[in-house]
Structure 1
Amino acid sequence: MNDSSREVAPKTQGAVLKWQAPFYDAECALVGLRKKFRRETLRHAWLSPGEQVLDVGCGTGVLTQLAAEEVGPSGAVVGIDPSPPMITLARKKASRAGSQAQFELGVVEGLSFEDRRFDVVLSSLMLHHLPVGLKREGLSEIYRVLKPGGRLLAVDFDRPGHPLWWLLLWPQLFMPAVAAHVRGEIPDYLSAAGFRQVQPVGRWFNLLTFWEAQK
């Protein structure tokens, strides 16, 4: 098992969660992002046995491992994250679980994979960590590594669907990285990256949207 602390961490202008790694899964559970949420994400991804899958911003690898179960031994799933502590923890968890999921240090704006490599790319609560310019670069890179006809399943903050969320989130309109989400602009970013048939396929707590986009 590789120790990512000995690897060179990629540079990025996006947010990198490091010290949060040991507590990340517990924090997700506290805000309602338990395994049920991950299963809902995969339900919208429609993974099939044998598919090649990339999980960008994989964190501790919960979704990545579940995706590996979906594609089976004939498929392959790789999770990337710019945080060495997250990747180290993801590898340890996968090793304990006997999962075939693989994990690499990496940044979405500079993917280390060849063109047209993956059938599916997953992005779960990653895009809001990227500045505006980096969102564009990252989505263009995702488009590049997808096979023709491949698909992106992204879930992230969107225009709130309930007035109470607006009371909590209106200050985010002054934070450019998140403001695009609150204003409901993510489909525009997906279309600008070249994706077609961009459509919302689900909601979570009237705050998060699942988007499907095809190459």
Structure 2
Amino acid sequence: MLKHEIIPVTPFEQNCTLFWCSETQQAAVVDPGGDIDKIKAAITKHGLTLAKILITHAHLDHAGATHALAIDYDVIIEGPHKEDQFWIDALEQQKQMFGEAFNYAEKFTPTRFLQQNDSVSFGNITLEVYFCPGHTPGHIVFFHRESKLAQVGDVLFSGSIGRTDFPRGDHATLIHSIRNTLFPLGDDVRFIPGHGPMSTFGQERRSNQHVSDAVMGVSK
């Protein structure tokens, strides 16, 4: 069984997520943006063995502590998509923009870039990988089909969507990712966004001011 804990990290309250397999206690951390001590404390609290780090996209608040955590636990890094390499390369520049709050951030080298139709595994858990560009060109989403739970990074939020005013962001591409890649997974899918509270794809289809069926002119 998949279990999870959301760990808000960095001054941006980014939803780093600890996923683990209840049968094996093998775990994966998604988007360790910072506050490594908080992430380590959660791993210890649940008695877990960290197997890998998963990255949805390479913005500083999601990926800043990736290198340090991978070194500390000697684990592999999977994700994001290769189109986010330029954001990985820019981590030092991103760090300088935000000062001491992110002084731990370093460039990292993914063990494996991910793409559509890939999967990642730890313990007895397998997460499906979906390519969802728009917020960044290499953004991916992780989906656990059995529990109908997705980690969507900054693609979609409760009542909102990701920004597209960063370099190589694209609004139309983001809308397409949400409507054509995420929503078809099912209205009953719960999702963990990169920031803020959880929601369901069905709720966002009904009421999200940017991508709801009504806003998009889609009749049921």
Q: TM-score range by the shorter chain?
A: 0.3 to 0.5
Q: Which has the higher strand share?
A: 2
TM-score by length of 2: 0.39
Q: Which has the higher contact order (CA 8 A, sep 6+)?
A: 1
TM-score by length of 1: 0.40
Q: Which has the higher helix share?
A: 1
